[in-house]
Amino acid sequence: AFNNGTFLNTGFDAGSSVLWDIQALPDGGMIAAGTVRVRHGQRLTGESQLALVKYNFDGSLDFNFGAGGKIAATPRGMAGAFQLELTPDGGFIVCGSATTGGNPMEASGGEFLLKFTSTGKIDTTFGKDGVLKPENIITFAVDAQGRILVGGYHDHDGLTDATLTRYTAGGALDT
């Protein structure tokens, strides 16, 4: 049974947390991404960190991932994530921000993609040292070949146009 049929509660030592996205893994496990609002004692500091957690099929933490199944940090400056997509190589990509703590309701233009391996390490072969910074990203998807489709917008002359851009599995513009 999943978590012995009880509510699954995952805390982060650094502070209060919220998960914005979750993906089911092929082995029945799951991975989730969100934000930790950092606290000092009982007081929130105003700082935030990326929150990642990986569960086994039964709801237990996957101890082969991060530190005890969890990651709470600011890798490459990402202070929170609001979208997560699996990649065909077994890794995953998160979309988050360095400026808003990963709150999807507060898009700021500082959003970027960060690729991880299945064990929670940054995949430095992707983009520039694991990072891809598309212009004004709002959402993304990964296709069966690992290519990344990015939806966003472009501002010009007081108008905004929707954009769609495709990148290779390695994070290069697909020309």
Residue 69 has pLDDT above 60, yes or no: yes
Residue 132, H or E segment: strand 131-132
The continuous run of DSSP H or E covering 87 comes out as none
Tokens 């082995």 found at: 27
Q: pLDDT (tens digit, 9 = 90+) per residue, 11-57?
A: 887 778 889 999 999 999 999 999 988 888 888 887 888 999 999 99
- What pLDDT is recorded for position 77? 85
Higher pLDDT, residue 5 or 123: 123
**What confidence score (pLDDT) does residue 6 get?**
73
Query: Tell me, what's the pLDDT at 102?
Result: 47
Does pTM surpass 0.75? yes
Q: What is the mean pLDDT of the chain?
A: 88
C-alpha to C-alpha distance for 138 and 96, rounded to whole angstroms: 10
The more confident residue out of 68 and 47 is 68
The predicted-structure confidence for 79-110, as pLDDT tens digits, reads as follows 889 999 999 999 999 999 886 544 454 555 57
